[in-house]
Amino acid sequence: MNGTRWVYSTAGTAHGRVIALVLFASWLGFVLFIAWNHVVWRDEVRALSLALQGENVFAMLKGIHGEGHPAVWYLLLRGAHALVSRPEILQIVALIVASAAILLLVLRSPFSLPLIALILVGPFAIFEYSVMARNYGISMLLLFLLATFYERHRDRGFLIGALLFLLANCNAHSVLLVGAFLLFWLVDIANEDGVRRSRALRTFLFNSAIAALGVAICLLTIYPPFNDEAVRRITFEMPFKAVFLPTSPFQDLMLPSATEKLSPWMAPYNIRLLKGALFSLIMFGSTLGLVRRPGAFLAALVALFGFSMFFNLVYWSSYRHEALWLVFLITMYWIAGSKDMPMERGLPAGLKPLIRPVSTIGSMLFLLLVALQVPEGIYTAINAAANDPPFSRSRDLGALVAERHDLQDAIIVSEPAYLVEPLSYYIPNRTYLMREQRFGNVVHITRKAQLRLSLDDILANVRNLRLRTGKPVMILLAARLDPSLPAQVYRDGPEWVLVTTPEQVRAFQASTRFIKRFAPALSDESFDVYLFD
C-alpha cells in the first residue's frame, strides 16, 4: 500500500482517533454555525409541508405519490415532528443524519487523516448534505453504513439488503447506486472459492430481493410525476452525449467557482472544453485506484455511466445530485481498503505487476478529485456563513410580518406561486394558490391550473379572498412593476405565464399599498410586497 499511503492510514492509533474526533468537532461546529444563519428555501420546506399533510402516515404517503422523491425523508420528518412540533425539526434531522455519517467516516473508515480532512471540507459534507435540509444526506449515511458493515455481513443475514432497501427510497438517483452496489457484491462473490461462494450467493440473492423490493416501491412512489415540469424533453444528441461524453453532465462537480475566476482571461467555450477534458481524465482515472478490487472498479464505472444517462435523459443535475457519485466512489475506496478482504483476488497473475502501478496512479487521482472539491467547499462555506445574500427572503418577510400588526392575520398570495412554499417555516399566515384556486403551500405545476394570469386576474382573486374571509391579503410579486414599461410577459416554467400592461400596473398600484421591496436572494425567492385591505 506504499503508493496509496495518502489515501489509507497505516495504523488506527489512539492518537489518530483523537485527531479524527477533533476534525469531527471542528466540522460540526462550523456546520452548526452555518445552519444557524442559513435561510431555508422552498425545496427544503416543501418536503416538510408534504410530510405533515394527511391525517395519518398512509394519507401522507398517498399525498407524495408523483412528487418525484421516495418516502424515507418524509417519514423521518413526520416522525421527528411528532416528537417535536416545531418547523426547526427540518434542519435538526438533516444535521443529525449528516453528523452520524461524518462520525462513521472519521472513526470507522480506513482513510488517512489528511484525506478525511479534505472530505470534510468538500461542499457535500460542509453544506449540501448537512446544512441544506434535503434527502441526499441520508444517502451518504446509508452508503457509509454499507461500507462499515459490508465485510461482516456480506455472507449472512439481511442487514445489507435492508440498507439497500432504504437507500433506494432516499431519492431516484440512489436507485442507480443500489444497482451498482449489487454489481460490486456479485463480482466479489464470483472471486470466492467453493463452499463459501455458495453460501455467499444464497445470501446475495436473498438481499437482492429485498433491495429489488425497495426499488419497486421507489418507482411506484415517484411515477408518474404530477408536476408537468418534471418531464424532460429529450433531444436527439442526448443519448450520444450520455454514452460518449459521460462526464459532461457533471458541470457543478467541475469547480464552477474556479471557472468563473478564469472567465476574464479565457473564452467560455475554451474553458468548458479544457475543464471537461481534464476533469474527465480525473474522474475516469480516479476509478483506477480500485482495479485491485475488480467489483469495486466495475461498480464505480457503471455508476458513472448510469448517472450520465440519468442526467442526460431523465433529469438535469446540480451539485447535490452529482456528488452522490463521489460519495459512492468514497464508499468503494472505503470497502476496498478493508484489511479483512485481500486485494487482487481473482486477477490473473500476469496482470498484477501492471495493476499495482495503475492502482497507485488511480489512487492519487482519487485524492486529487477530492482535493479539487476543497476550493469550492471553502467558497460555499464562506458565502453560507456570511448569508449575503440569503437563499431566500422568506425569513425577512417573517420579520416584517412580526413587527406589523396589520400583516399578522393577512392571507398571502404570490406570483410566481412557489414564493409561498417556504413561508410556513417562518410565519403561520394562510397562503392561497391563485392558479390552482385553493388554499395550500405546496404548488402543483400542472396544465390543469390557470396557465395565463394577468395583474387584473390577481386583483380579482384578492378582492374575492377579501370578501370571502374578511382578512387583508398580502401579495408577493417577483416582477418589479413599472407603469412606464411596455407590456411584459413573465414565465414560471414552460407553461405558466404572467402578463402585464401599463394600464394594469397603474390599476394594481392604485388598488394596493406598496409595503416593501426585498433585495435579491441567492435563489429566485425575492419579491415586492403589496397589501390589499
DSSP 8-state assignment for residue 498: E
Taking residues 163-173, what's their average pLDDT? Answer: 97
pLDDT for the residue 249: 81
In which band, very low, low, confident or very high, does the pLDDT at 515 lie, cut at 50, 70 and 90?
very high
Residue 497 has pLDDT above 70, yes or no: yes
Q: Rounded to an integer, what distance in angstroms lies between the CA atom of residue 93 and that of residue 134?
A: 10
Q: Rounded to an integer, what distance in angstroms lies between the CA atom of residue 113 and that of residue 249?
A: 31
Task: Report residue 107 CA to chain centroid gap.
Answer: 25
Q: Which of 517, 458, 524 is nearest to 42 (CA)?
A: 524
Tell me the pLDDT tens digit for each residue of 295-327: 999 999 999 999 999 998 888 889 999 999 999
Residue 252 has pLDDT above 90, yes or no: no
Residue ranges per domain, the chain?
Answer: 13-386, 394-532
Tell me the pLDDT tens digit for each residue of 433-458: 999 999 999 999 888 899 999 999 99
Residues of 324-335 as b/e, b for ≥16 C-beta within 10 angstroms? bbbbbbbbbbbb
Residue 8 has pLDDT above 60, yes or no: yes
pLDDT for the residue 199: 85
Average pLDDT, the chain: 89
Taking residues 511-515, what's their average pLDDT? Answer: 97
What are the angstrom distances between the C-alpha of 156 and each of 159, 178, 201, 366? 8, 19, 10, 31
Residue 346 has pLDDT above 60, yes or no: no
In which band, very low, low, confident or very high, does the pLDDT at 261 lie, cut at 50, 70 and 90?
very low
Taking residues 128-137, what's their average pLDDT? Answer: 97
112-126, 303-317, 418-432: lowest mean pLDDT where? 303-317
Residue with the larger pLDDT of the pair 245 and 82 = 82
In which band, very low, low, confident or very high, does the pLDDT at 35 lie, cut at 50, 70 and 90?
very high
| Residues recorded for the chain | 533
pLDDT for the residue 1: 46
Residue with the larger pLDDT of the pair 225 and 361 = 361
Q: Which three cell numbers stand for residue 155?
A: 455472507
Residue 39 has pLDDT above 60, yes or no: yes
Asked whether the whole model's pTM tops 0.85, one would answer: yes
Torsion region of 472: left, alpha or beta (phi above 0 gives left; psi -120 to 50 gives alpha)? beta
